[in-house]
């Protein structure tokens, strides 16, 4: 993401209702031709915790709601494990329209949707974002974050937001035990950051920088 959504002047943001209206009639990339419904984000627009998925699947395309199908059941179960409900978090996707045959969104499709994601982040101002999948994590961090190395780690993005990359619930639906275990752990990690039980991405970055400057001295 090229601009920091947290530093955008709130006066320059579209009002929420207008943002949603614009999203629902968006034709900025070719995905509008094959979509049934636009899947705009959902949940608490003041949430401390945001989840960002890659793209709507079939159930989401039909209902117009993010994580409405089996992947959403996994998310709901793991939220329940830490005492949260869907209404207390905000859930959205990198792109709001289902790519044909459920393929990955292309770079230009992601680019076209970016203003909508950035404005949702700017409005919600989450403290923690859980990124579902390597593609989402890379877009939010602005650099590659290989999941086999860093799933569940806490990164600092947008000067103060903790980003936790994890696997896609869709992979868990398809039978990946590794994805299922990691997602459960990483939702719990997000809650622990929010509760102040473990360090934020910013805290960890500051510690790493202090260690580095000590070893340089």
Which distant-in-sequence residues (6+ apart) come within 8 Å of 195 by Cβ? none
Which residues are within 8 A (CB) of 216 and not within 5 positions of it... i.e. 6 or more apart? none
Give residue number: closest CB to ligand URA: 53
- Residue 160 Rama label (left phi>0; alpha psi -120 to 50; beta): left
The distance of closest approach from Cβ of residue 168 to ligand URA in the complex, given in angstroms and rounded to an integer, is 6
The one among 40, 78, 90, 132 contacting ligand URA by CB under 6 A: 132
* Residues in contact with ligand URA, shown as a per-residue x/- string from 155 to 194 under the rule CB under 6 A: -------------x-x------------------------
Closer to ligand URA by CB, 39 or 140: give it: 39
- The answer to whether residues 143 and 169 touch, using CB atoms and an 8 Å cutoff, is no
Q: Number of helices and strands (H, E) in the chain?
A: 9, 6
- Exactly one of 41, 43, 53, 99 binds ligand URA (CB under 6 A); that residue is 53
Q: Calculate the CA 75 to chain-centre distance.
A: 12
Which residues would be at the binding site for ligand URA (CB under 6 A)?
39, 53-57, 60, 66-67, 71, 93, 132, 168, 170
């Amino acid at each position: 993401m090229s601009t920091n959504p947290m530093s955008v002047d709130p006066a320059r943001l579209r009002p929420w209702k207008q943002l949603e209206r614009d999203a629902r009639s968006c034709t900025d990339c070719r995905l509008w031709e094959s979509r049934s419904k636009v899947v705009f984000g959902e949940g608490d627009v003041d949430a401390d915790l945001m989840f960002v998925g890659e793209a709507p699947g079939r159930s989401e395309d039909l209902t117009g709601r993010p994580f409405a199908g089996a992947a959403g059941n996994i998310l709901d179960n793991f939220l329940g494990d830490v005492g949260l409900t869907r209404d207390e978090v905000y859930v959205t996707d990198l792109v709001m329209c289902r790519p044909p045959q459920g393929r990955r969104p292309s770079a230009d499709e992601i680019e076209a949707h970016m203003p909508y994601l950035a404005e949702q982040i700017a409005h919600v101002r989450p403290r923690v974002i859980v990124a579902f999948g390597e593609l989402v994590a890379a877009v939010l961090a602005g650099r590659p974050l290989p999941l086999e190395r860093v799933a569940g780690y806490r990164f600092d993005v947008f000067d103060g937001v903790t980003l936790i990359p994890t696997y896609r619930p869709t992979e868990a639906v398809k039978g990946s035990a590794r994805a299922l275990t990691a997602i459960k752990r990483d939702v719990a990690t997000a809650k622990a950051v929010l509760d102040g039980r473990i360090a934020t991405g910013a805290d960890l970055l500051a510690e790493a920088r202090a260690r580095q400057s000590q070893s340089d001295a």
